[in-house]
Amino acid sequence: MALRLDYTVRETAKNVQRNVVITVASVLCVSVSLALVGFALMARQGVERATGYWQGDIQFIVWMNVESTSDQIEGISRSLDENRGVEDLTFFDQEAAYEEFLDLFADTPEMAETVTAADLPPSFRVVPVDKSPEAVAELVSQYQGQPGVMRVSTATEAIEAIQAISNFLTSVGLAVAVILLVVAVLIILTTIQLAIYTRRREIEVMRLVGASNSFIRIPFMLEGLLQGLVGAVLAIGALAIFKPFFEDSLPAEELPLFSELTFSSVEMFGTYLFLTSVGILVGTVAAAIAVSYFLDT
């Protein structure tokens, strides 16, 4: 059966109009929870980017000079290899460094254009046997100032702390967001239940005269979807507005290597798309539950 668009739109609008207060409540609940999810994702991306070199157990990096000779590189490599304090070792030549650079700045191509492989220092990523700060400092001092070595940088406690805090906050944020999303589902469900109750006589007549099930359901499904969607749009708006403040508040000077944190539009587009999908999903699921519980009796 052809669904009549004007009818569907009119009925949905009427439902929303009749239950304005609770509709606002459910939309706000969706938007707050999605904004929280968005901030958590944004923070995680930012911190991951900033600490991207320090994946796994890598505790320090020996950066070679760009002009260092292959003999010098060879020498450091052998020395690290034979060092009993070193558990694992990865060598990044200039090509690999460039690959990594492109990865880290995948969303800011203008940055990548200014750099070539030849500009980037080769490096050794070192996992020491003993990961205590003292042991790492001892190892670092052995390589600091060696011929061909530009500098040796360590995964400072600051980075570890930031990672730990970021992980903790992200988990807490996501947990709270999930709880809020469940609350949002319940509120939307109640809103739709209310809309169904308000219109029970109309629904009874519709059934009686042979309106198809989908015809009866769609305005309510659409109402749920809309609440989720509007909530998501508000959340995205809030994220876009607060993003600059959020970036400023990150302790950039604590992050030694690439302190520049940017959340480019490409990166955010993915997050926004994700939030929109979650919003629509939450609204539709809530409406579907309400409709199947209170309509299909």
Partner 1 sequence: MIRLDNVTKVYKGDVPALREANVNIDKGEFVFLVGASGSGKSTFIRLLNREEVPTEGQIWVAGKDVSSLSSSKVPFLRRNLGCVFQDYKLLTNKTVTENVAFALEVIGRPKSVIRSQVPAILELVGLADKARSFPHELSGGEQQRVSIARAFVNRPLILLADEPTGNLDPATSVGIMRLLERINKTGTTVVMATHDRSIVDKMRRRVIELERGSIIRDQARGVYE
Q: Which residues bind partner 1 (CB under 8 A)?
A: 1-4, 7, 201-202, 204-213, 215-216, 296
Question: Smaller CB distance to partner 1: residue 37 or 218?
Answer: 218
Question: Smaller CB distance to partner 1: residue 15 or 68?
Answer: 15
Question: Smaller CB distance to partner 1: residue 130 or 204?
Answer: 204
CB of 206 to partner 1, least distance (A): 5
Place of tokens 């290899």: 81
Phi and psi torsions of 201, nearest 5°: -70, -40
Question: Smaller CB distance to partner 1: residue 20 or 209?
Answer: 209
CA quadruple 113, 116, 119, 120: dihedral positive or negative? Answer: positive
CB of 6 to partner 1, least distance (A): 9
Q: Give the chain's end-to-end CA distance (angstroms, integer).
A: 22
Question: Smaller CB distance to partner 1: residue 105 or 294?
Answer: 294
CB of 279 to partner 1, least distance (A): 30
Closest CA to 293 of 225, 206, 194, 223: 194
- Give the C-alpha separation, 122 to 140, whole Å: 17
CB of 213 to partner 1, least distance (A): 6
CB of 211 to partner 1, least distance (A): 4
CB of 201 to partner 1, least distance (A): 6
Question: Smaller CB distance to partner 1: residue 3 or 161?
Answer: 3
